[in-house]
């Protein structure tokens, strides 16, 4: 079974305040995916990491593209340099549209958005368009999660047709706690995939200890 772990990460200027924690948190998540690969040897885990900042599509950058977890390099300072605005919709739209044609029908996907602010700089995609795209991919079996700070993450996620949502504090401690919850959610996802749980049932990934 192929499992694609897709992470769409805010790289806007406001993330500078939690820069070190964001980097270490991303690597904490990657270590969790490595552990999932060890725990479930019949699964083949791949990772895509996309960051977004600035204005429009030009600020959307693919840092890792469907890399097998055993070959992936840790996230580093050269990968992540916060600055600019928040083209969230363009990041989601571009990433999801590109991946849709590359992932097989029997593959499983967990796509997670992490942001500390609201959309304010997209040029090609609207919230309505992204919501429709998420709905289309959920019908194909994809699972989505939204992790947000400085907002009501549950409500923002609902507007994007995403049922898994988690609020976090945009502080060093808050990012550390969020990274642990995210890693545990990934473990839960891998475990449920191993049990062949129907994708539409994966709507409580953050309901964990």
Q: What is the pLDDT of residues 134-150, one digit of tens each?
A: 999 999 999 999 999 99
pTM: 0.96
Find how far residue 62's CA is from the centre of its chain.
Answer: 13
Q: Which CATH superfamily is domain 9-201 in?
A: von Willebrand factor, type A domain (3.40.50.410)
With 70 as the cut, is the pLDDT of residue 200 above it? Answer: no
Band of residue 196 on the pLDDT scale cut at 50, 70, 90: confident
Residues 6+ apart with CB under 8 A from 48: 4, 5, 6, 7, 62, 64, 65, 66, 67, 95, 99
Q: What is the pLDDT of residues 163-193, one digit of tens each?
A: 999 999 999 999 999 999 999 999 999 999 9
What pLDDT, on the 0 to 100 scale, is given for residue 199? 61
* Segments making up each domain of the chain, as ranges: 9-201
């Amino acid at each position: 079974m192929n499992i694609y772990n897709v992470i769409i990460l805010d790289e806007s200027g406001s993330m500078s305040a939690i820069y070190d924690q964001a980097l270490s948190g991303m690597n904490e998540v990657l270590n969790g995916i490595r552990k999932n690969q060890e725990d479930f040897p019949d699964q083949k885990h791949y990772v895509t990491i996309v960051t977004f900042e600035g204005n429009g599509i030009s600020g959307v950058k693919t840092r890792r593209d469907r890399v097998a977890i055993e070959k992936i390099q840790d996230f580093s300072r050269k990968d992540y340099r916060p600055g600019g605005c928040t083209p969230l919709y363009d990041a989601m739209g571009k990433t999801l549209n590109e991946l849709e044609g590359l992932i097989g029908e029997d593959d499983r996907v967990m796509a997670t958005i992490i942001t500390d602010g609201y959309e304010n700089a997209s040029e090609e995609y609207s919230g309505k368009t992204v919501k429709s795209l998420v709905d289309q991919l959920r019908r194909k079996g994809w699972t989505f999660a939204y992790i947000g700070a400085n907002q009501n993450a549950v409500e923002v996620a609902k507007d994007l047709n995403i049922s898994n949502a988690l609020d976090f504090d945009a502080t060093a401690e808050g990012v550390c706690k969020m990274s642990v919850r995210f890693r545990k959610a990934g473990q839960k996802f891998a475990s449920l995939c191993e049990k062949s749980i129907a994708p539409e049932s994966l709507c409580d990934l953050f309901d964990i200890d």
